[in-house]
Structure 1
Amino acid sequence: MIKDLPENNVKDIAVAVALESENAESKTWHVYLINLKKEAIENVLITSKGYGEKNGEPVKTSTLRHMFPIVAKGSYKQIELIDEQTFGLNNEYWVSYYIGTQIYDKKFIFLPESIVDSNFIKLPVVNKPGVMIL
């Protein structure tokens, strides 16, 4: 039964959208997985997708899958590029990983219009401006 499963709380793992570069014509954005733990995480699987409404019509992006064999302690991995046009959608990142034989998973969702300058911080480890969900 579900109540018999151990409660594996995800802590010290973050997903962040960072501004990589900008010029007069465009901005480049990347999504990162940040491991703030004092130990490595292994067999990291991330699915990403966008969904919501645009002009009153339902919109869904493709579901993408990413895999990293290991993410060292206090480090990060680039998950993907993200297009500014998707910032008006829910951008979901479902992260699953192992520590030893224990599996952990958590869903990180950037809500529409949450990736804006007023929400920017200096991202830990990545050292770039962006928005982070911990």
Structure 2
Amino acid sequence: MKKDIQIPEVSDVYVAAVKVYNEDFKTDEWTAYLINDKDIDLEMALIVSKGFDGKKETSTIRHKLEKLPAKSFAKIEFIQEEILALNNQFQITFFANGKMFEKKYLFKKNSVNKNALRDLPIIPEKGVLAE
């Protein structure tokens, strides 16, 4: 029975970390974004994030986006500088064209830094894409 379940492969959907200036706190901070580079909308996107490394683990945080339009992006959460020393996982589940998709994205520990910045799909800023 389990072998009969087909989970479609996710493409053109990304998680990125971008250093953004926070006007309220007058500082640069890393922020995670969900990017939809597809030509169709994502519906009911569920995002579960956590940081971990051996014995250390953060709280699990859950987010929901009702709809992420085609060729757009949305802020997921602020990432504290101390958490970047851990592996940061974002599990994304969403619906598109009536099918459910799921993928885990991972920022390996210490991989989010200024030296790793590159061009991103859709977002006009440079950032780091999760694997």
What TM-score results when the alignment is normalised by the length of structure 1?
Answer: 0.89
Partner of residue 89, structure 1: 86
Partner of residue 3, structure 2: 3
Any unmatched runs of 5+ in structure 1?
Answer: none
- TM superposition shift of 1:129: 1.9
1:12 equivalenced with 2:12 (yes/no): yes
Which shifted more, 114-123 or 60-69?
A: 114-123
Q: Once the two structures are superposed, what CA deviation does each residue of 1:80-119 show, in whole Å capped at 9, x if it has no partner? A: 0110111110100000000132100000010011112221
1:67 equivalenced with 2:68 (yes/no): no
1:129 equivalenced with 2:126 (yes/no): yes
Equivalent residue of 1:77, what SS? strand
Partner of residue 98, structure 2: 101
What TM-score results when the alignment is normalised by the length of structure 2?
Answer: 0.91
Equivalent residue of 1:6, what SS? coil
Q: Once the two structures are superposed, what CA deviation does each residue of 1:54-105 show, in whole Å capped at 9, x if it has no partner? A: xxxx211110100001000000010001101111101000000001321000
- In 2, the alpha carbon distance for the partners of 1:72 and 1:26 equals 29
Equivalent residue of 2:9, what SS? coil
- In 2, the alpha carbon distance for the partners of 1:120 and 1:4 equals 40
- In 2, the alpha carbon distance for the partners of 1:83 and 1:27 equals 11
Equivalent residue of 1:105, what SS? strand
Aligned mate of 1:77, from 74, 77, 94: 74
Letter in 2 for 1:21: Y
- TM superposition shift of 1:5: 1.1
- TM superposition shift of 1:26: 4.8
- In 1, the alpha carbon distance for the partners of 2:28 and 2:11 equals 31
- In 2, the alpha carbon distance for the partners of 1:77 and 1:114 equals 21
Letter in 2 for 1:77: A
- Equivalent pairs: percent with the same residue? 31
Equivalent residue of 1:86, what SS? helix
Any unmatched runs of 5+ in structure 2?
Answer: none
- In 1, the alpha carbon distance for the partners of 2:119 and 2:98 equals 33
Partner of residue 112, structure 1: 109
RMSD: 1.6
